[in-house]
Structure formats: structure tokens, C-alpha cells
A and B are shown apart, each in its own frame.
Chain A
Amino acid sequence: MGKLKIHPSLVTESAAKELTKLCPFGAIEYEEKENRLEINSACRMCRLCVKKGPAGVITYEEDQKTEEPGHALWRGVCVYVDHTGGEIHRVSYELLGKAKELAAVTGEPVYALLIGSGVTEAGRSLLRYGADRVYVYDREELSEFLVEPYAELFFRWIGEVHPSAVLVGATELGRALAPRVAARCKTGLTADCTALEMKENGELVQIRPAFGGNIMAQIVCPNRRPQFCTVRYKVFPEPTPGKEAVGELISLPVPEEALRSGVDVLSVTEKPKETDISEADVIVAVGRGAMSDAGLALAGELADALGGIVACTRPLAEGNRMDAKRQIGLSGRTVKPKFILCLGISGAVQFAAGMKGSDCIVAINKDKNAPIFDIAHFGIVGDVFEIVPLLLEKIREVRSHVS
């Protein structure tokens, strides 16, 4: 932690202009008349001005460390177990697998935390997935998710067990719960991590796409505990359960005062079952370069031919060309199909983060410099509207021979 310091004696017009141009966030302002350089609140502390700017004009001043973190107190990796009425969301198994890997680096335990009503049996099943201890808050009043009581119990549990890291599945429930708990702990929270690593000193390295663009950020939470993050479904592989349960299940009492809530659930309706793109094995994804009616028709035909479904990038969902639930990417869904064909998709990190785990990535794009070709296993530099009709013809031909 620290701050940027401007050294006015070194500020010249040319240095100032160079710095203003260098800052990617437009945070450096120059007042020509008074020869005054200022950094405004758009600054993201990327420190490029220090590293790449004219020497010495802006420097980074490290603060004296004031807080003694006392990290030794905090041990273990916890997974918050997401469920609906006791049915565990698969992301929780994936996270348990990852937690075991992370905890092995420092030789610390893996915890699972389960909050709900009638969930104790479900909790027992987690012992086969590598949890050393499964903690359960089971009480009738917890049958519906309410953020205040769930956050309160989660917070109390953290206060007792002191886990060093907490992983939460980035379901809508997880995204609602994690920030309330992290804020109450006054600790950091990194959303939608795409990779996690444990350093030997117990620091959790959290990697995610950042600044909404083609950039990955490596994030740490050096001075506070626990280290909190959320991870999407299908980012990590699901582990195979062990034959026998190891570890123990611990039921915790739910105090009356923890149940207070300013929100009440009056009724619940299940959404009609929709095609879930995260479950599909074959996906034809459409981007800006193929979003015309003709492009969508081609994609639909191809998806039908391959037994897959059509999905899209953000511009299509935002422009109402396709349902938002079909959107792949950070602001949409994460998919991990066996085969994904990207039509006219440039491949921004925002999108790539949502499909990089796919087994076979094929891209067709006219622009040979499109970033999609950096992640595609098989890239075709060409026109979707020429290639796909030919491909469909070939498929039809083969089909007619077979039948």
C-alpha cells in the first residue's frame, strides 16, 4: 500500500504531456498555465507512470506497514457449499477439488461450510470429496436463502474457525452472499477467478480478466484474512469422489438472534427449465461479425446439424439479438463444451474467460489478427458466410449417403 507522489520541480511541459498520454485511464491532468501536474481519482494505481514515465517525475511511496496481519492464526481453505433445498450445486464439488490442491501446498485442512434446512445428510456426502471437516448450520428457518442470516452465520463461522482462504461458487446465490460476508470481515473479494494458486507463505494468488478488456490481473490480499474469492461453475474440473469418507461432520447450533432478516420470502416459483448453455456438449457461438439475420440462421442450421445449441457474445445479448441467457463470457455464462465453433467472434478476454476451458475451440473470422485465434485450437481465416454454407452442404451430402 502506498501512494503516488508528484515531484513539482521535475515537471516540465514535455514530461507532463508524455505522462498524460501514457496513463491508460486518463487520470493524469496537466494545468499548462501553472505548470501543475495532478493525478485525479480515475487512477487505478497501475503505476505505469512510475515505471514507464520520465524518470522521477512521479514516484511510488511505500507506506510504513502499520498492521501486523497475524496471519499464522488463519489456516485452511474453506468452500462454501451452494445448494437448493439440499441438492448441492456441482460448482461446490469443483471448488472442493481445487481447495484440496491449494491446501496441500501449505499442508492445511480443507473445510466445507453448509447452511440450510435438512442439509446434514448432503453434508456427509462432501466428506468423500476431500473435505477434512464439514461444518453444518441446519435449522428449519434457514430453508430459504436470506442474505442476512446466511451472512451472519458465515461471518460467525469465520470468526471461530479462521480459514485462510474462502472459495464461493459464483452462482447468483454465491454472488449475493460473498460480498456481504467479505465486507463484514473488511477483507478483499475477487470475483470470477479463472485460476487460483497457493504460495508457500499461504498467500492465495487470484487471477481474473480485468479492466473489462484483454488483460489478466493477478490479485492478492496481503494484509487481511480470509482471502475471499468467487469462481464460476465449470472453471475447474470436478474431482472423482473417494470410496470412503474421511474427516468429520460438525453440526453447529444456530442462535435465534442470527436469524434476523429485513427481507422475507413470500413465495417461490421455479423458472421453467431452459436450455442451459453451460451443459451443452456442442456450441455454435455467434459474435458481432455474424450477428445479421442471415448469420443467425446459418448458426442455427449448423447447430442443428451438429446436435448442439447456439450461443452468443455480449453485443448480441445487449442488442437483444439473442436471449441474455445464451451469452458466453464474464457477464454471461461459462461453458466447457467438447466442441465450440466461434463465428465472427473477435475473442475479447471477457468472452474468452467464459469458454477457454472447452475441449476443442474452432474459430472462423475474417480478421487474421483477431485475438480469438490466440485461443482457438483450429483457426480459419475467412468469411463465415462463404464457409458455413459450404460446410452445411458437405454435411447434408454425407447425411444423404448414410440414410
Chain B
Amino acid sequence: MKILVCIKQVPGSNNVEVDPVTGVLKRDGAASKMNPYDLYALELAVSLAERFGGTVETLTMGPPQAKAVIVESVCMGASRGTVLSDRKFAGADVLATSYTLSQGVRKLGDFDLIFCGKQTTDGDTAQVGAELAEALGIPNVTGVLSVEEIKDGEVFLTAALDNRVLTLKAKMPCLLSVGADINTPRLPSYRILREVKEEQVRFLSFEDFPDREEKHYGLNGSATQVERIFPPEKNTEKKTVEGGVEEMAEALFGLIQSRKLL
């Protein structure tokens, strides 16, 4: 069984601000990390490969530095991974990102199962997994909680959908988006880290893809455009209390009483 896990490198911190005077975007220089939601997907994939036999590969799109998350995934049990990196991929929205990933998947060959995390902590859209399944023309399930059995080309699983838990059967190949907190991801092994070989991390660019139409990638392949970015509106009718503790507690107490909460 061949399993692929899509992962992403995200900023280590989300402290981004717009300077109100210059309009410049300020992001503090914290290190980047693997998207925390991807860890659950990777853990599930690796444990399934151990249980049912098979290999796990990882795939990411990003700048060359994104190599770091591929190395981390190898330290967690993937056999190797691929970074899709090209300036032509820059400025991609959900549509262009999922299309680029689908081209990467096609280049890498056939997989029985593709896993994605629920969402990323920087984009927060939770849409790329389903759009990737659509671009590949395979079934997909979101909110996967557990995989119970894999046999005869089918995977038996449970998934959450709003207030219900579904027991499902899906034909492979298929794509599964994994819920948060469904397992305890293993820690990366430092023993493996020392032994990671150059050939376990592969780079692919636009030139390697089956579809070499520039209009399908990056900003050109994106349907949406960011017209402007701006700091969130501030509340103008605010009241602020500073001073002694007693005074502040009293003010809050007064507010609670006036709101008839007691």
C-alpha cells in the first residue's frame, strides 16, 4: 500500500500586524514549523503503514526552506518526501494550490491513500484537501476520526460530520482529511535525523509537471485576488478602566448588575 501525506510549513507564530501609518505588514521573525494539524494525519498514515504494510511519502509546496518539514516527516516515519518549489507557484490561492499539489501527485505516481490535515494554522481555510481530491478525481472524506480496516481496495473508517459520527466505507484511491486530536503524534526521531539521506528529500518544479501551462499556477492560476489588506476596525465606543483593583472590580460588578446578569 502506498500512502501520501500532504503537509505544510507554517510560521511558528501568528503575530502579524499592519503598521497603521505605513501600511506595511510586520511579521515577527519566529521560526517556522510543521502545521500542527498535519501531525495527526502523518501519525495516522505511519501507524496504518505499520499495521497493514506499506510506505508513507510526504508532499509539500513552499519555498526551498520547506525542506525542513519533509525532513521532520522522515524522522516521524515517512520513507521520503517531495517539495514542490517554484517561483511560478507564488501567490497561489486554494484553487491554484490544490491544482499544483495534484500535479505533484500525478508526477509522483499512484497512491492508495492520500492524507491531509484538517486545516493549516496560517491559512485556516480547511479547503485544500477537498479541492485536491476534486483535482485528482478521487473520493474524499473530511473529519476522519479513525481507520478501522483496509481490505479488498476499500478503507473502513469513522468520520465526524457536525453532530454525528458516520461509519463509512470508501473505495481506494481516496483522500482523507484527518480531524484534530485523534491520536498522539510520535516525536521525530533524532536517530533517524542523523541518517537522513539527500535522496530522501526531492525537489520538483514547474518544469517537472505533466501540465506546463503557466496560467494554471500561482497568482495566474488563482481565481481569487486580495484587493487590499487592512488592520481590523477598532471599537470606537469603548470604555477603559485603569486604577486600583477595588475600583476596577467595582466597575465590573456595576456593569454586570446593569446587564441584569445576577
The answer to whether B135 touches A183, judged by C-beta atoms less than 8 angstroms apart, is yes
Q: Are A2 and B219 in contact (CB under 8 A)?
A: yes
CA distance A381 to B16 in the complex (A): 23
Count of chain A residues near B, Cβ 8 A: 116
Interface of A is mostly: mixed
Contact of B16 among A24, A52, A330 (CB under 8 A): A24
Instruction: Give bound CA distance, A176 to B126, whole Å.
Output: 9
Chain B residues with CB below 8 A from A25, complex form: 27
Nearest CB of chain A from residue B224's CB, rounded to whole Å = 4
Residue B180 CB within 8 A of the other chain: yes
Q: List, in ascending order, chain B residues with CB within 8 A of A26's CB.
A: 63, 65
> In the bound complex, do residue B230 and residue A215 qualify as a contact, i.e. CB atoms below 8 Å apart?
yes
Minimum distance in angstroms from B28 CB to a CB of chain A:
10
A143-193 interface with B by 8 A CB criterion: 144-145, 147-148, 151, 171-173, 175-176, 178-180, 182-184, 186-192
Residue A3 lies at the interface, judged by CB distance under 8 Å to chain B: yes
Complex CA gap A268/B161 in Å reads 10
Least distance between A342 CB and chain B CB atoms (Å): 12
Contacts of B250 in A (CB 8 A): 394
Nearest Cβ distance between residue A107 and chain B, in whole angstroms?
A: 24
- Cβ contact within 8 Å between A221 and B252: no
Q: Report yes or no: B16 in contact with A270, Cβ–Cβ below 8 A.
A: no
Q: A residues within 8 A CB of B133?
A: 180
Q: B183-203 toward A: CB 8 Å interface, digit per residue (1/0)?
A: 000000000000000000000
A176 B169 Cβ-Cβ under 8 A: no
Q: How many positions in chain B have a CB within 8 Å of any CB in the partner chain?
A: 104
Q: Using Cβ atoms and an 8 Å threshold, which residues of chain A touch B237? A: 377
Residues 158-174 of B at the A interface (beta carbon under 8 Å): 160-171, 174
Q: Is the CB of A269 within 8 A of B165?
A: yes
Complex partner residue of A263 from B22, B139, B143, CB under 8 angstroms? B139
Stretch at the interface among A11-19, A124-132, A241-249, A367-375: A367-375
Stretch from B68-76, B105-113, B240-248 at the A interface? B240-248
Instruction: State how many angstroms separate the Cβ of B112 from the closest Cβ of chain A.
Output: 13
A58, B166: Cα distance in complex, Å: 52
A203-223 CB mask vs B (1 if < 8 Å, else 0) is: 001100111111111111111
Chain A residue at minimal CB-CB distance from B143: A172
Docked complex: A222-271 residues within 8 A CB-CB of B: 222-224, 261-271
Interface residues in B229-261 by Cβ distance below 8 A to A read: 229-232, 234-235, 237-242, 245-246, 248-253, 255-257, 259, 261
Q: How far is the CA of A183 from the CA of B95 in the complex (A)?
A: 6
Residues of B within 8 Å of A264, CB to CB, are 168-170
How many A-B pairs fall under 8 Å by CB?
Answer: 335
* Contact partners of B135 in chain A: CB under 8 A: 183
Residue pair B167, A266 in contact (C-beta under 8 Å): yes
Query: Closest A-chain residue to B100, C-beta based?
Result: A41
**Chain B CB within 10 A, most for which of A42, A338, A339:** A42
Known contacts being A219-B225, A373-B240, A377-B238, is A387 close to B232, with CB within 8 Å? no
- Given A27-B63, A41-B62, A377-B235, A180 and B131 contact (CB-CB distance below 8 Å): yes
- Bound-state CA distance A24–B220 (Å) is 21
For B262, give its contact among A176, A189, A218, A399 (CB under 8 Å): A399
Q: Does B87 reach chain A (CB closer than 8 Å)?
A: yes
- On whether the beta carbons of A41 and B245 are closer than 8 Å, the reply is no
Q: Is the CB of A338 within 8 A of B139?
A: no
Expressed in whole angstroms, the Cα–Cα distance for A122 and B123 within the complex equals 35
Q: Which residue of A lies closest to B250 (CB)?
A: A394
Among B85, B161, B163, B219, which residue has its beta carbon within 8 angstroms of that of A3? B219
Instruction: Given the known inter-chain contacts A40-B87, A42-B90, A217-B226, please indicate yes or no for A348 contacting B14, CB distance below 8 A.
Output: yes
Say yes or no: is B1 at the interface (Cβ < 8 Å to chain A). no
Q: A52-B24, A339-B261, A360-B259 are in contact. Are A223 and B165 (CB under 8 A)?
A: no
Query: In the complex, what distance in Å separates the CA atom of A327 from the CA atom of B259?
Result: 25
Residue on A nearest B174 in the bound complex, by CB: A262
Please state if A222 and B125 are interface contacts (CB–CB under 8 Å). Answer: no
Question: Which residues of B sit under 8 angstroms from A183, Cβ to Cβ?
Answer: 95, 98, 130-131, 134-135
In the bound complex, residues from chain A placing their C-beta under 8 Å from that of B231 are 214-216
Binds B, one of A43-51, A71-79, A96-104, A113-121: A43-51
Give the interface of B toward A (CB within 8 A). 10-11, 14-18, 22-27, 36, 61-65, 85-91, 93-95, 98, 119, 121-131, 133-135, 138-143, 156, 160-171, 174, 180-181, 215, 218-220, 222-232, 234-235, 237-242, 245-246, 248-253, 255-257, 259, 261-262
A-B contact pairs, 20 of them (CB 8 A): A39-B90, A44-B91, A45-B226, A151-B134, A172-B142, A172-B162, A175-B130, A179-B94, A187-B95, A188-B95, A189-B94, A214-B17, A215-B232, A224-B223, A324-B180, A339-B259, A349-B232, A374-B235, A375-B235, A379-B241
